[in-house]
Amino acid sequence: MPVEQGVVKLTTIRQACSDCSLFQLCLPVALDTSDVELLDDIVQRRRPLRRGDYLYRTQDPFRAIYAVRAGALKTSVLSYSGEEQITGFHLPGEILGLDAINDNHHPCSAMALETTSVCEIPFEHLEHLALKIPGLQQSLLRIMSKEIFKEQELLHAVAKRSAEERLAIALLSFSQRFGRRGLSKTRFRLPMSRADLSNYLGLAPETMSRLFRRFQEQGLLLAEGKEVTLTEKAALLDLAHARGCIGAENQAGAARKA
Task: Return all residues near 174 (Cβ < 8 A) that are at least 6 apart.
Answer: 91, 188, 190, 228
Q: How far is the CB of 143 from a second copy (least distance, A)?
A: 8
Q: How far is the CB of 35 from a second copy (least distance, A)?
A: 14
What is the binding site for DNA (CB under 7 A)? Answer: 160, 162-164, 193-195, 202-210, 212-213, 223, 225-226
> Residue 41 in contact with residue 136, Cβ under 8 Å?
no
24 touches a second copy (CB under 8 A): no
Contact positions with a second copy (CB under 8 A) in 218-257 = 241-245, 250, 253-255, 257
Burial per residue of 208-227, b for 16 or more beta-carbon CB atoms within 10 angstroms, e otherwise:
beebbeebeeeebbebeeee
Q: How far is the CB of 60 from DNA (least distance, A)?
A: 24
- Exposed/middle/buried for 81, CB within 10 Å: 0-12, 13-18, 19+? exposed
Q: How far is the CB of 193 from a second copy (least distance, A)?
A: 17
Minimal CA–CA distance to 247: which of 199, 185, 183, 189?
185
44/87 with CB nearer DNA: 87
Classify 67 as helix, strand or coil. strand
β-sheet bridge partners, residue 84: 78
Taking CB within 5 to 8 Å according to partner kind, which of a second copy, DNA, none is near residue 134? a second copy
Among positions 39, 64, 201, 228, the unique one binding a second copy when judged by CB under 8 A: 201
154 touches a second copy (CB under 8 A): yes
Q: How far is the CB of 126 from DNA (least distance, A)?
A: 36
Minimal CA–CA distance to 187: which of 129, 147, 135, 230?
230
63/194 with CB nearer DNA: 194
Minimal CA–CA distance to 61: which of 12, 31, 97?
97
> Residue 140 in contact with residue 121, Cβ under 8 Å?
no
> Residue 67 in contact with residue 122, Cβ under 8 Å?
no
85/231 with CB nearer a second copy: 85
206 touches a second copy (CB under 8 A): no
30 touches a second copy (CB under 8 A): no
Q: Rule CB under 8 A: which residues touch a second copy?
A: 77-81, 85, 87-88, 98-104, 107-108, 127, 130-131, 134, 137-138, 140-149, 151-156, 158-160, 201-202, 241-245, 250, 253-255, 257-258
